[in-house]
């Protein structure tokens, strides 16, 4: 039986998505080659672009942010209890 993903798994998935994004938008640079300021900018740029995509598809972006924040906080709390 496969184990449930943990927050390290989720962070790795996000880093993989961010790597695809930064290679295309940050002159082929991978997240581990970005300084802290550029990395932070790349993260919020990717989140903003995901919201643009969601908006084009007719989703309520405020609701997506609300639900994403809820899931993030719930996952942190769940792992803190382990």
Mean pLDDT, consecutive 10-residue segments, the chain of 82 residues?
91 97 93 94 97 98 98 95 80
pLDDT at 2: 82
Look at residue 3 in the predicted model and tell me its pLDDT: 86
pLDDT score at 14: 97
Q: How far is CA 34 from CA 14, 63, 79, in A?
A: 15, 31, 28
Which pLDDT score, from 0 to 100, does residue 75 have? 96
Contact partners, residue 19, CB within 8 Å, separation at least 6: 30, 31
Model pTM score: 0.88
The pLDDT of residue 82 is 72
């Amino acid at each position: 039986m496969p184990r449930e993903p943990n927050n390290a798994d989720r962070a790795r998935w996000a880093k993989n998505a961010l790597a695809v994004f930064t290679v295309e938008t940050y002159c082929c640079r991978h997240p581990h080659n970005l300084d802290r300021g550029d990395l932070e900018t790349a993260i919020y740029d990717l989140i903003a672009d995901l919201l643009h995509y969601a908006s084009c598809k007719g989703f309520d972006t405020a609701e997506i942010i609300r639900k994403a924040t809820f899931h993030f906080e719930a996952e942190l709390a769940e792992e803190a209890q382990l």
